[in-house]
Structure 1
Amino acid sequence: MFDFETYLAGQKNLVDAALRAWLSRAHVIPPVLSDAMRHSVFNGGKRLRPVLLLAAASACGLPRGKAMPAACAFELVHSFSLVHDDLPALDNDALRRGKPTTHKVFGEAAAILAGDALLLAAFELMAATGPKPERALRASALLASAAGAAGMTGGQTADLFAEGLPKESRRLSRLKKERAACAANKLSYFLLPGDSKPAPDKVLEYIHLHKTAALLAAPLEAGAVLAGAPKKTIRALRAFGLYCGLAFQISDDILDVCGDKKLLGKRGSDRDNEKLTYVSLYGLERSRKMVYSLLLRAKKRLDGLQGIRASKLKPLYGFADFLGRRAY
């Protein structure tokens, strides 16, 4: 059986070294900004997204060194999203992986600016990705789409206004109390367009396909694009990533209820914020069965890949198994 945790730890060290080199470049910027950026990036993350990009690129024949800038770019976008996600206006979290969140250490204003800087640095890195500029451009578009309004940002928006459902939207109730002009709109305005009475299960799937799964599928797709892989391979890796992304989110919901607070760095945040989660909607056992089903479908997409040695796909199969263990 492939030891994914050992593989992940080794690849993480390589990604961390590349991130340190990038963030240590000589720039004349306020130290508070550079320190806030480093605090956000080096706070114990697993580096799943860059490692998945490197694994996909390697499976499709691109050397790690040529894919590393793009891998780091995805991690910077992920870090940016967590900085902003933790802010009082959004999830208002004081801890991230057992450490104080960026705004708790540097203040809200510096945290917002650090997040902005990380996002923009990601596209600077994408521009430095080789070997072919047209492939780097396609990979940049994938990153922008996965992180933007049609991806993570859209999912995050729906996630905020789904707090309190299926009873009522806490955020919308707050806007009504504040007499915000947009509060006159129906709930669908804040969740799913064109659906006057959005069902909680549809809202939940939309949130996590966009908020979580998109940024797990995109690095796999980008790695294949950078390697010049056939369209069929790119589509299969994207589908694998979407299935794994949903499984990852469901297991995250499970861990929020059952996980060890000391290991996770926090526990119960979703419950405190009345988040709409798979566990709150479907219960613990059904959520675990959903993880199992999604991972079976993910592996089937890898089974159908042609022209790639089985040994090259071991990290991806290992990732799926890792997610399965995470849910129990």
Structure 2
Amino acid sequence: MPDPDFSGLRARIDSALGRALPDPDASPHRLHAAMRHAVLQGGKRMRPLLVYASGRLFGAGLDALDDAALAVELIHAYSLVHDDLPCMDDDALRRGQPTVHVAFDEATAVLAGDALQTLAFERLAQAPLDAETRVDLVAQLASASGAAGMCGGQALDLDATGKGGAISFDALKRLHALKTGALIRTAVRMGATCGGAGTDQRVPLDRFADALGLAFQVRDDILDIESDSATLGKTAGKDQAQAKATFPALIGMVASRCLLSDLAAMMDEALAEFGDDAAPLAALGRMAIERDR
């Protein structure tokens, strides 16, 4: 995958998303426009890139990976739409643009999130893969986005809001293993599934993905303190303002940076057995740790 900055793959997934989303000129116009607003306003595309990188590690063609990459990004977009709602994290800015409930209205935002979620599973069901693989992918994504994954993590996050550093380190890790880590881990697994990876090969990939998911959140927590809204594309300082449970609030900034360094080493160790073939996954791990937004 000779694409060191992943620009070609980002363009590929952006094009696929544009084709998959409903026509804004078709009825219901407002819902379709809201769905496109949620998905096509930029973004790192980290999760679909992980699908591509993991799948290519095992020889899967891009055409075989497109629907899995598309589905995981649609689920991510749905989760952001719902997370931003006033009844959840209550944010007005996402990717430098008004959040969906601000640009449209709360009811439309709820419907847009629901529609993006169901579109993700529709695309997986129609993927040009054998039936057994399609069912496996659907099951993986459903688990990652449900009560044992993102939804469960969001519930724990809501419970912890206002408590600042009052929850345990292990509880905070579990919260983010569900809210952030589950979809990242599943993105890596889905790519490997499309490539026909064996059970033994998936074990180090899970270790890599678990470390990546936690590192992604630790970096998010640090950026909320150190960066600004213009750079982040979302409201900076909200974690502190809402007394949310974060790693800097719990263990401090110095320890959070040390944790990030430890997680980087864990990612490298997990990928070592794959050698240079895992370079794209390693690059995505570095991007997650070094990013400024």
> Could you say which TM-score interval applies, normalised by the shorter chain?
over 0.9
Question: By how many angstroms is 1:135 displaced?
Answer: 0.9
Question: By how many angstroms is 1:311 displaced?
Answer: 4.1
Contact 1:254 1:327 in 2 (8 A): no
Contact 1:86 1:94 in 2 (8 A): yes
Looking at structure 2, the residues matched to 60 and 16 of structure 1 have their Cα atoms a distance apart, in angstroms, of: 23
Question: By how many angstroms is 1:200 displaced?
Answer: 2.3
Picking from 262, 267, 275, the partner of 1:298 is 267
Looking at structure 1, the residues matched to 3 and 266 of structure 2 have their Cα atoms a distance apart, in angstroms, of: 21
For 2:287, the equivalent position in structure 1 comes to 322
Superposition RMSD in Å: 1.9
Aligned-partner residue type, residue 237 of structure 2: G
Q: Give the 3 Å change call, closer, same or farther, for CA 210–85 of structure 1 in structure 2.
A: same
TM-score normalised by L of structure 2: 0.94
For 1:156, the equivalent position in structure 2 comes to 154
Contact 2:164 2:246 in 1 (8 A): no
Picking from 250, 254, 277, the partner of 1:285 is 254
Question: By how many angstroms is 1:326 displaced?
Answer: 3.0
Looking at structure 1, the residues matched to 217 and 83 of structure 2 have their Cα atoms a distance apart, in angstroms, of: 15
Question: By how many angstroms is 1:302 displaced?
Answer: 0.8
Looking at structure 2, the residues matched to 66 and 319 of structure 1 have their Cα atoms a distance apart, in angstroms, of: 21
For 1:276, the equivalent position in structure 2 comes to 245
Q: Give the 3 Å change call, closer, same or farther, for CA 95–166 of structure 1 in structure 2.
A: closer
For 1:145, the equivalent position in structure 2 comes to 143
For 1:183, the equivalent position in structure 2 comes to none
Map residues 1-328 of structure 1 onto 2, 5 A cutoff.
Answer: 4=4, 6-7=5-6, 9-24=7-22, 29-165=27-163, 199-265=167-233, 266-305=235-274, 310-326=275-291
Contact 2:52 2:191 in 1 (8 A): yes
Question: By how many angstroms is 1:312 displaced?
Answer: 3.0
Contact 1:135 1:228 in 2 (8 A): no
In the TM superposition, structure 1's runs of 4+ consecutive aligned residues that sit over 3 Å from their partners are 24-29
Looking at structure 2, the residues matched to 104 and 26 of structure 1 have their Cα atoms a distance apart, in angstroms, of: 18
- For 1:189-225, what per-residue CA distance to the aligned partner results, in whole angstroms no more than 9, with x for missing partners? xxxxxxxxxx522221111010001111101001111
Looking at structure 2, the residues matched to 15 and 259 of structure 1 have their Cα atoms a distance apart, in angstroms, of: 28
- For 1:58-91, what per-residue CA distance to the aligned partner results, in whole angstroms no more than 9, with x for missing partners? 1111100111011100000000000000000001
Larger mean CA deviation between 96-105 and 19-28 belongs to: 19-28
Looking at structure 1, the residues matched to 23 and 58 of structure 2 have their Cα atoms a distance apart, in angstroms, of: 31
Q: Give the 3 Å change call, closer, same or farther, for CA 113–246 of structure 1 in structure 2.
A: same
Larger mean CA deviation between 236-245 and 149-158 belongs to: 236-245
Q: Secondary structure at the match of 2:180?
A: helix
Instruction: Give ranges in structure 1 of 5+ residues lacking alignment.
Output: 169-198
Q: Give the 3 Å change call, closer, same or farther, for CA 72–251 of structure 1 in structure 2.
A: same
Larger mean CA deviation between 51-60 and 27-36 belongs to: 27-36
Looking at structure 1, the residues matched to 42 and 227 of structure 2 have their Cα atoms a distance apart, in angstroms, of: 17
Question: By how many angstroms is 1:304 displaced?
Answer: 2.3
Q: Secondary structure at the match of 2:129?
A: coil
Counting matched residue pairs gives 291
Looking at structure 2, the residues matched to 76 and 26 of structure 1 have their Cα atoms a distance apart, in angstroms, of: 17
TM-score normalised by L of structure 1: 0.84
Larger mean CA deviation between 158-167 and 83-92 belongs to: 158-167
Contact 2:156 2:175 in 1 (8 A): yes
- For 1:132-153, what per-residue CA distance to the aligned partner results, in whole angstroms no more than 9, with x for missing partners? 2211211111111111100111
- Structure of higher CA gyration radius: 1
Q: Secondary structure at the match of 2:214?
A: helix
Looking at structure 1, the residues matched to 15 and 165 of structure 2 have their Cα atoms a distance apart, in angstroms, of: 47
Identity %, equivalent residues: 40
Contact 2:165 2:246 in 1 (8 A): no
